[in-house]
Amino acid sequence: MITRTDLGWWLDLEPELDWQFAVTYAEGAPHEYVAFPRTGGLDERDYARAAHVIQTFGEPMKFYKRTRIYLTTPMGWKHWTMDRDLDQAALVNRGRVEHVYGVQNMPRTRSEFKSAYDGYASAWDRSHAMTEAEQDQVADLIRRSFGDRLGRTLDVGCGTGWPVTAGLAEPVRYVGIDPSTAMLNALVAKHPTLAGVHAMTWADAAKQRVLCGTAYDAVLALGGSASYLSPLELSELRTRSKRGVLLMHYAPDQQPITDDLDPRSAAASLAAASDVATEQTAVGRFIVSFVPAHPAESAPLPVSPPR
């Protein structure tokens, strides 16, 4: 888990390091770097820790056509790494924040919400995501519910964007909503070109009308995300879908690693989905429900007491 203690460690360490100037890029993209084993005072674990800090507390920026996650520091630097596998990082770069390259049309991941998931995000896919068996079952359910081509896809509580990584949704037709900056950073690091990224809760997205009147071919709330939605919010999702909504709730005896889920609210959400689901099945730690769409003028999803 990455916390603000790790961020403080890196910010305190930065001014003590022997940063080397990258002579090759002196004219086009001046920057400095530290690298293993050349730079003293850093071992392999330190580079991995720094890489996780940068992805957790940074945000996307563009270097011409390439999108990376950059951490801006109080000293006026922006830090970035080059390795897709953060645990294999062996180099950290830094450049001046005022040095900007190309149009900055990257997704915005900065959220006003402090999420319990932030500290787990940089290692989520490797250590905390759905198991392979859960992924296989959910992929089959998605294909059975929506077909092989999802078309426009809305993913609420999208996290690191598993439907895109699994090849179920096209990035250019995928809109993700999640209140965790760090989870969205992990998503954008893998898939920088997306139809939309909204760093907020579903409640704020609905209030701010960030989706306008768009209707989606598939609406998803996977990996337990549905457990955080109220019955009314589940009803709102149904109005957004042309074909239906696939919901994944934590089973009644399960809790996320963050341990931040209110059991009564989660039970009410699952009960409300169960009342209108046309298909429901247990998948590992989760209960997966397919709920058909209803038009905006239809009656809202019934609010059921916890079971």
How confident is residue 301, by pLDDT bands cut at 50, 70 and 90? very low
| 307 has a pLDDT exceeding 80 | no
CA distance 80 to 183: 17
Which amino acid would we find at residue 73?
T
pLDDT digits (tens, 9 = 90+) for 246-277: 999 999 999 999 999 999 999 999 999 999 99
Residue percentage of the chain with pLDDT more than 70: 96
What are 101's strand-pairing partners?
Answer: 63
List the structure tokens of 116: 């319990």
Q: Are 196 and 219 in contact (CB under 8 A)?
A: no
List the structure tokens of 75: 């000293």
Which residue do the tokens 């590992």 mark?
A: 284
Maximum Cα interatomic distance, the chain, rounded to a whole number of Å: 66
Helices (H), the chain: 4-13, 44-57, 124-127, 132-146, 162-165, 181-190, 202-208, 231-238, 263-276
Q: Are 51 and 83 in contact (CB under 8 A)?
A: yes
Q: Length of the chain, please?
A: 307
Please tell me the predicted confidence (pLDDT) of residue 305: 46
The set of residues, in sequence order, having a beta carbon less than 8 Å from that of 146 and lying 6+ positions away, is 217, 218, 243, 244, 246
Q: Which of 247, 245, 251 is nearest to 286 (CA)?
A: 251
List the structure tokens of 111: 């959220």
pLDDT digits (tens, 9 = 90+) for 71-114: 999 999 999 999 999 999 999 999 999 999 999 999 999 999 99
| 45 has a pLDDT exceeding 50 | yes
Domains of the chain: 4-96 (no CATH), 118-291 (3.40.50.150)
Neighbours of 218 (CB within 10 A): 26
Please tell me the predicted confidence (pLDDT) of residue 81: 97
Residue percentage of the chain with pLDDT more than 90: 92
